[in-house]
Structure 1
Amino acid sequence: MNATKMFLPMLGHTRGKRSAVTCSLKCDNACSKAVCNTSTNSYFRDIASLAFTRRTALGLGLAGALSAAVVLTGCGTEAGSGTSGPTASGKLEFTPIKAVDAAVDRFDVPTGFGWAPIVRWGDPLFTDTPDFDFAAQTPDAQAGQFGYNNDYLEILRQPDGKKGLLVCNHEYVNPSIMFPAAPVDEAETVARRSIFRNAVGMSVVELERAKRGTPWSYVRGGKLNRRVTVDTKFELTGPVAGSDLVKTAADPEGRFVLGTLGNCAGGTTPWGTILSGEENFNGFFRTNGSSAQDRRYGLEDEETKMGWELDDPRFDARGEDHRNEPNRFGYIVEIDPEDPNSVPKKHSSLGRFKHEGANVIVADNGRVVAYSGDDERFDYLYKFVSKNKYKKGDKAHNMTLLAEGDLYVAQFAGSAESEIDGTGKLPADGNFDGTGKWLPLVVGGKSAISSMGVQEVLVYTRLAADIAGATKMDRCEDVEPSLKTGKVYVACTNNSKRGVEKGAKADEANPRIENRDGHVIEITEKGDDATATAFNWNILLLCGDPAKNTSAYFGGFPVDQVSPISCPDNLAFDAAGNLWISTDGAPSVIGYNDGLFKVGLEGSNRGNVQQFASMPREAETCGPIIHEEESMVYVAVQHPGEDGDYGAPTSMFPDFVAAGASPAAGQVSGPRPSVVQIFLEGAK
């Protein structure tokens, strides 16, 4: 058996066809371990991580003139796919596809659309980088090739639409698929670990095409192409910079950090930079695991699955020299894609936790507001409000806005709590809804937690939020504000432990126990002011397959006319204001491959879920982008064939070489995570 698969605590505990390998490699088997949050705060349901809003990029430009795309950040045997006719609202019209059984390995799009990869794991980004060769990988080659397991995705375009920039996260690797079962010697083992380190992080890739609406090609050797890895230098900003809590033997000043880890979702700022969330960073470090801080962040005294501590001592935080190294990860990072020589930043003012991503909007008073979720069972939803104001066209100034400001955490209250029985039954008033508060953690440069200083609050943000009395969420993932209405949408992926763990009972915001399908919450800030400290909320979707889950709720839309949807992860909007949802985990719950879905938000179309795309076998849908005016959609296809092996793949995406067949010219012998473009057939 492949060494990667020897220790899979989630094996037999996932449902359907969800891969226990994903649980092991992506989040260090978090669901098999004790809940990190042992506070007595009330519980609030799974909220998908808040991703920074995709606004028009002001003052941005690839050579002075790029514009930010409207982006989406972050199901089974053929079943009813909902409405059979074309969608009625918005320019991107399509007939919803049927859900695809999780055992089927193909990529499905609506009739009239085609698809093709833009860039795949291993594709060379530089002229001196060798072509990808499954059988001859090297650390140096991978450092110049597109990374593994692409997640958050953005495409910035020049006004004429012919040139662009693709920016993407690379969250983690899967050794079982990348290499044969056993290395031949210790030297090869060490080389593989180096390849893995060079395969995570981020990529920036130039694009070109003939005209708007036609497929892109990536530019090998583009002058803006860049790889960001665990060895890239980052500047730490905000109150934590220079703190004793982040100083190490290698960085005695505590101001510069090498690398970024566990990069999941992200966001695009109004000034044209890209934000990336450091999520499951804990699994890369070995610590003493004895402190309350370590336990709250899931840090343990165990050999890590990647074994990087065997090569680089900073990943072994048991000794004094590197004790603080884990405190230097778990932040929102910011990269300027137009400057390949710039030093990326880690923003401590937004707090340290398992950021799914971050979405930035500019409030009416000019201050920047960033929403972010902590993607772990029973953790929290956060909001950052900048001290200083946005200046249109002043990119240098705007790139300082996330370094200083106020940090809040959410507390929810329901309007009919006495009626919540854990089944998902609607209250008598016909809505799951209520009010909420943004509880202060840091305000005006001072800590709002009397027992903790500002630096402690921002390094041990989870502990500060415990004390503040935040509402426990079910793995907060993507959070997206709508530019059309100002409402904020939170994707709550799932939580199989609600109603199981002690004290984790259902409430109106989390109305189902063992909430495996997840839900989506809609937040309205008080007075439509993004900087407000109070809000109203309601549940838009209780996800599921209505044929199998009677508690599924679709905003009042008839349940027999929707596409089945489970495990909402990333969110985005099209120009018409419709919500788009990508999923992660549907195979384990409803037996269908993950997909991309469009959801109406207004009038009689509110809650109408229609499936647009279906992923290949065992793949997650990530980083969706909707360019409605071009009838083009983009997704990052992550971990296709996750449960397979190098010699026995379960997916052949994106080349789809038949099992046992000889690969054709340009094809490979296994699955490759890829960025995919979906376009109208006939576009040239």
Structure 2
Amino acid sequence: MRHLPLLANHSPGRAAVTCRYRCGDACFHDVPNTSGNPYFGDLLDRRSAIKAGVVLGAALTATGATAAADAAPAHAAPPAEGTGADRHHPARGLDFRPVEPNTLDAVVVPEGYRQAVVIRWGDPLFPDAPAFDFDHQTAAAQARQFGYNCDFAALLPLDPTGRVNLLVTNHEYTGEPFMFRGYDEANPTREQVEVAWAAHGLSVLRVDQDRDGRLTPRFSPHNRRITATTPFELRGPAAGSDLLKTGADPTGTRVLGTLNNCAGGVTPWGTVLSGEENFNQYFAATGDPRETRYGIKDNPTTRKWERFDERFDLAREPNEANRFGWVVELDPLDPDSTPVKHTALGRFKHECANVRIAGDGRVVAYSGDDERFEYIYKFISRKKVRRGDSRSARRHNMTLLDEGTLYVARFTGDSPPAEIDGSGGLPSDGRFDGRGEWVPLASGTRSFVPGMTAEEVYVFTRLAGDRVGATKMDRPEDIQTHPHTGVVYCALSNNVDRGKEGKEGATEPNPRVDNKHGQVLELTERGGDALALSFSWNLMLVCGDPASPDTYFAGYDKSRVSPISSPDNVAFDRHGNLWISSDSGGALGGLNDGLYAVPVAGRERGHLKAFLTVPRGAETCGPVIGERVVTVCVQHPGEVDGASADNPASHWPDGGDSQPRPSVVAVWREGRRIGE
């Protein structure tokens, strides 16, 4: 694997047009987190860590954290470091030749593999849906077609053989300049706005899998579209709060639509969770400081939706934005069910929510708040899961996220602060690692945050995290639990503001200033218990150009790894290898993003290899890693500055002079399992 030079004169990062439409220019605005909570690694050194942990535990107990006595855990034994010694025996499930970095307008897969588009933006989901016509789009048609900018995906088997499945996909955001010729951002038409409402949300689609792994879409009674106008139910401790009531919904329990759905997860009971992320950009603000903390600006929005529906104008409906930023639960098996927004998991820019079952049967959900200097959260349910797939067990399990305790993470490094100098150089112990604790925020109607009611904690969770001194992280993205070990993996995408004047500098879990490329965090709950309120942690990967001294690949020989920037989604295969999708926007010399795989244990730990790359301007999203098929969502192909529907920069996937279309792609190997 050749090294890639860092281009000193290149301005890295995604296109400005992507920032504008996906997250409302979040990275070009002031950081919403202006709290002064200190990084605890700067307050503690290794000799005083145990003593300080006891003090912190006592403080937590005073606020109601009765289980915080384990706030000073013994260090969990770290996984074995990679050595690069086994050069001829790749990790099981990863026997493929890595794809070379490139800038092609294509999905590129390893030698011996095949690929095909499963479904594209605008493809019909129902027999009565019209064929896609780029130049004659209507809202009615889009509501019956596959939505725009697919992100998270799940593949749920409907039969024991796995031949019949439901593909559930998020549709994060709309890029109107790439959807409509001659689009006038200052004066969108009502039809264009309503097409965009219909293009948001989620899709449910039956797909059949053949013996090799190829997926074929089918019309089915299960097929469904969720849009920005689909009714949702608000549930949990904040449902019915005055903070959630509007003129259209005086009960505070019913919401129209879901917006900016990013990553998600599949629950053990077969439903899909979806995180509402950059919801702030859809609302014209009033200047309320609590709105500012969520990045809602007191000016007209980019899409101008407030001109067509007063609920997007907070001067007229000040609580409407409070009804977004939640974790959504959808039952794909029941196309008539009402999807739910779970208030017990808190309101912030949820990248994801992923659930594991604890030893006593309660469930634990992890979620990251995807913005610079934001936090990582954990929820522990009050009730326990019911085993089996009976209708009554499933109904019960779909209430597990309604009641429980919400926590936020506080990290402590174990190296002297002077050794974390912002360069990314390893400290003297050779690892970025330390301890941490889960700080309680609220449980039911009880708040553990001074000066905030429980309802305020759930609705303004960021402010609660500020008050308890949560650790500011570099854009927490997807979080997944290892299926065999229970170790938790979190992608931290990047943070170019770290270390800037007035901003927090380097910390051990975020060890680089001007962090363009991100890192991958391993978190081990104390004793391997998902219910533990303390943990150990380390950085498995510090991403970027392997030739750069500020990168780290679990100690593996960096001359043999693929370059990666801005880890986003993470997933596991059946062997326990970690797969990572990237969203760098060309931060490594303009190279395309991709999907990578890396062993997390054994002699090959840290040997990161690129499995595929996506077309120019696209982001790799929502990987599903099956035994015979890998799927990825190819989001916003051709979305580069200067391009538009009138001047497309990509013609993927249809070629010729066609418009680019976000799509789901399947990759398989005839007669062979993935990576074998």
Using the size of structure 2 for normalisation, the TM-score is: 0.88
Classify 1:148/1:540 alpha carbon distance in 2 versus 1 (closer, same or farther; 3 Å): same
User: Which of 339, 344, 354 lines up with 2:349 in the alignment?
Assistant: 354
Matches within 5 A, 1:625-640: 625-627=624-626, 629-630=627-628, 632-640=629-637
Are positions 1:370 and 2:365 aligned together? Answer: yes
1:86 and 1:623, CA in 2 relative to 1: closer, same or farther beyond 3 A?
farther
On the 8 A contact 1:406/1:445 being kept in 2, the answer is no
- For residues 404-457 of structure 1, what are the alpha-carbon distances to aligned partners after superposition, in whole Å with 9 as ceiling and x for unaligned? 100000000000033111101111111111000100101364100121111000
Mapped pair 1:40 → 2:40 = no
Matched, 1:99 2:94: no
Structure 1 residue 15 displacement after superposition: 2.5
Could you tell me how far 1:43 is from its partner in structure 2? 5.1
Does the 8 Å contact 1:84/1:95 carry over to 2? no
Query: For structure 1, which runs of at least 5 residues remain unmatched after alignment?
Result: 1-12, 46-81, 660-668
- Note if contact 1:83-1:561 (Cα within 8 Å) is conserved in structure 2: no
Structure 2 residue identity aligned to 1:150:
C
- The one-letter code sitting in structure 1 at the alignment partner of 2:232 is F
Contact 1:413 1:435 (C-alpha < 8 Å) held by counterparts: yes
Aligned equivalent of 2:67: none
1:72 aligned partner? none
Matched residues in 1 for 2:557 and 2:36: separation? 38
Residues 268 and 18 (structure 1 numbering): CA distance in 2 closer, same or farther, change over 3 Å? Answer: same
Query: Which of 328, 331, 335 matches 1:333?
Result: 328
- Report which stretch shifted further, 104-113 or 173-182: 173-182
Q: Answer yes or no: is 1:88 the counterpart of 2:90.
A: yes
5+ unaligned residues in a row in structure 2: which ranges? 1-8, 42-83
Structure 1 residue 212, shift from structure 2 partner:
3.4
Give the distance between the partners of 2:86 and 2:312, measured in 1 at CA: 53
**In 2 relative to 1, CA 92–165 (structure 1 residues): closer, same or farther, beyond 3 Å?**
farther
**2:664 aligned residue:** 675
Q: Deviations over 1:220-248 (max 9, x none)?
A: 3x111000011111110111111100000
State the partner residue of 2:376: 381
Change (3 A) 1:588 1:92: closer
- Preserved contact between residue 23 and residue 278 of structure 2 (Cα < 8 Å): yes
Provide the rounded CA distance (Å) in 2 between the counterparts of 1:185 and 1:550. 46
Cα separation, 2, equivalents of 1:204 and 1:86: 42
Q: Which residue in the other structure is 2:491 paired with?
A: 491
- On the 8 A contact 2:176/2:183 being kept in 1, the answer is no
Asked if the contact 2:22/2:175 (under 8 Å) is kept, the reply is: no
SS of the aligned residue for 1:287 comes to coil
C-alpha distance after superposition, 1:55-90 (max 9, x if no partner):
xxxxxxxxxxxxxxxxxxxxxxxxxxx999887222
Q: Percent identity?
A: 51
SS at match of 1:435: strand
Q: 2:385 aligns with which of 376, 379, 390?
A: 390
8 Å contact 1:369–1:531 — kept in the other structure?
Answer: yes
Other structure's SS at 1:235 match: strand
Q: 1:682 to 1:652 in 2, by over 3 A?
A: farther
Deviation at 1:395, TM superposition (A): 0.6
Match of 1:148 in 2: 148
Per the TM alignment, residue 656 of structure 1 is displaced from its structure 2 partner at its CA by 2.2
Assess, with a 3 A threshold, how the Cα gap between structure 1 residues 402 and 182 changes in structure 2: closer, same or farther: closer
CA distance in 2, matches of 1:508, 1:119: 42
Rounded Cα–Cα distance in structure 1 between residues aligned with 2:146 and 2:11: 32
Q: Give the corresponding residue for 2:433.
A: 433
1:268 matched residue in structure 2: 266
1:21 equivalenced with 2:52 (yes/no): no
Equivalent-residue separation in structure 1 for 2:242 and 2:509 (angstroms): 39
Q: Which residue of 1 aligns with 2:130?
A: 130
The reply to whether residue 303 of structure 1 matches residue 276 of structure 2 is no
- Is the 8 Å Cα contact of residues 405 and 445 (structure 1) preserved in structure 2? no
CA distance in 1, matches of 2:115, 2:11: 30
Pair 223,467 (structure 1): closer, same or farther in 2 beyond 3 Å: same
1:90–1:575 Cα contact (<8 Å) kept: no
For the pair 1:512 / 2:512, whether they are aligned, the reply is yes
Residue 171 of structure 1 is matched in structure 2 by 172
What RMSD, in angstroms, separates the aligned Cα atoms of the two structures? 2.1
Name the aligned partner's letter for residue 631 of structure 2: Y
Look up the SS of the partner of 1:208 in the other structure. strand
Residue 634 of structure 2 aligns with an amino acid whose one-letter code is V
- Which digits, 9 at most, give the CA deviation of each residue in 1:368-396, with x for residues without a partner? 00000000100100000000001112111
Task: Tell me the alpha carbon deviations over residues 474-502 of structure 1, each in whole angstroms, 9 at most, x when there is no partner.
Answer: 11101111011110011000000101141
Aligned to 2:27: 31
Q: CA deviation at 1:135?
A: 1.3
Question: 1-side partners of 2:322 and 2:185: how far apart?
Answer: 36
Residues 83 and 562 in structure 1, CA contact (< 8 A), matched pair in contact too: no
State the match for 1:69 in structure 2.
none
TM-score (norm 1): 0.87
CA distance in structure 1 between the partners assigned to 2:669 and 2:394 by the alignment? 35
**Quick one: distance in 1 between partners of 2:173 and 2:536?**
36
Letter in 1 for 2:555: G
Supply the AA of the counterpart residue of 1:672. R
Retained in 1: the 8 A contact 2:523–2:538? yes
Q: Distance in 1 between matches of 2:577 and 2:569?
A: 14
Conserved 8 A contact 2:185-2:302? no
- When residues 185 and 526 of structure 1 are mapped into structure 2, their CA distance, relative to the original with a 3 A threshold, is closer
Q: Is the 8 A contact 1:89 1:576 kept in 2?
A: no
Distance 1:27 1:87, change over 3 A: farther
